[in-house]
């Protein structure tokens, strides 16, 4: 398993990882499959072992709001494990995904015997809160072009694949996904992408983006 730097699994000690793996069972999902459903009763947490998922929430009007993208090593469902309330979001596999599924009871037992890991879970929840607050500030202070540049830079740094001409982002995200993620309309995101293409900073394909000039895009995001 190759966990993302800074992820929950990546911050555990080898012996803690071994103990955690004994607590649950591995489960696989195909692309497009739902791992967790918003509003359902919460009985287990999951640790991503491979693959990438999209976290989103439906508004009362039925509009999907993308909240996050998470990769290998991420802990999913820790909020529900803490408060016992229904799932606040839906998690969908963006490709083939494998995760370690652990019941709340077994996860609580693991935390009881590994007290230091409790603080990692607390830190994970705090990180989610910090990210939510940052996005609220971004929505209020920055225009759509800047917010889009910031999101593309983040995706390039976390999930981009270096290629001869730049950095390739191959996550199957639609323009609607990008729009809801940065709090904009699809039309506004399409216009912003067109502007970046005209500058020669990116190329776009079907659910993919090639970053041709990452430093320029990074400066636009500042």
pLDDT value, residue 140: 66
Query: What sign does the dihedral 215-217-220-221 (CA atoms) show?
Result: negative
Of 118, 116, 96, 91, nearest in space to 107 by CA: 118
Helix axes 115-141, 104-113, angle to 10 degrees: 110
Same domain, 26 and 62: yes
124 and 216 assigned to the same domain: no
Nearest-10 crossing angle of helices 144-159, 214-221 = 130
Are 143 and 192 a contacting pair, CB within 8 Å?
no
Q: What is the CATH number of the domain that holds 166?
A: 1.10.10.10
pLDDT of residue 6: 87
Domain count for the chain, please give it: 2
d(CA 135, CA 54): 17
Last residue of a domain, one of 113, 137, 161: 137
What are the backbone dihedrals phi and psi of residue 52, each rounded to the nearest 5 degrees, phi first?
Answer: -130, 140
Q: What was the pLDDT predicted at 206? A: 82
> Residue 101 — φ and ψ, nearest 5°?
-100, 125
Tokens 């430093």 label which residue?
A: 215
- Let me know if residue 41 belongs to a domain: yes
Alpha carbon distance, N-terminus to C-terminus of the chain: 34
CA 48 – CA 98 distance, rounded (Å): 6
Residues 68, 90: Cα–Cα separation, whole Å: 11
**Cα(62)–Cα(85) distance, integer angstroms:** 21
Boundary of a domain, candidates 137, 161, 184:
137
**Per residue of the chain (222 residues), what is the pLDDT tens digit?**
678 888 999 999 999 999 999 999 999 999 999 999 999 998 999 999 999 999 999 888 888 889 999 999 999 999 888 888 899 999 999 999 999 999 999 999 999 999 999 999 998 888 888 887 777 777 667 788 999 999 999 999 988 999 999 999 988 888 899 999 998 899 999 999 999 999 999 999 888 899 999 999 999 987
Q: Please give the residue range of the domain that contains residue 107.
A: 9-137
pLDDT of the residue at 59: 85
Q: Output the pTM of the full model.
A: 0.86
Residues with Cβ < 8 Å from 111, sequence gap 6 or more?
A: 117, 118, 121
């Amino acid at each position: 398993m190759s966990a993302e730097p800074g992820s929950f699994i990546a911050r555990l000690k080898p012996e803690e990882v071994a103990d955690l793996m004994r607590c649950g069972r591995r489960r696989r999902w195909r692309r497009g499959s739902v791992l967790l459903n918003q509003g359902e009763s919460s009985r287990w947490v999951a640790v991503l072992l491979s693959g990438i998922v999209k976290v989103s929430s439906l508004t009362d009007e039925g509009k999907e709001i993308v909240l996050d993208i998470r990769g290998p090593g991420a802990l999913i469902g820790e909020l529900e494990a803490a408060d016992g309330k229904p799932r606040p979001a839906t998690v969908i596999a963006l490709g083939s995904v494998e995760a370690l599924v652990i019941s709340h009871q077994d996860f609580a037992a693991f935390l009881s015997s590994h007290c230091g890991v409790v603080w990692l879970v607390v830190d994970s929840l705090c990180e989610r809160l910090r990210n939510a607050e940052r996005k609220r500030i971004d929505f209020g202070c920055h225009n759509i072009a800047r917010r889009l540049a910031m999101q593309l830079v983040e995706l390039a740094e976390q999930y981009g694949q270096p290629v001869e001409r730049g950095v390739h982002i191959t996550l199957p995200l639609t323009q609607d996904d990008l729009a809801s993620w940065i709090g904009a309309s699809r039309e506004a995101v399409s216009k912003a992408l067109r502007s970046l293409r005209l500058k020669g900073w990116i190329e776009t394909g079907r659910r993919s983006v090639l970053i041709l000039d990452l430093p320029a895009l990074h400066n636009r995001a500042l």
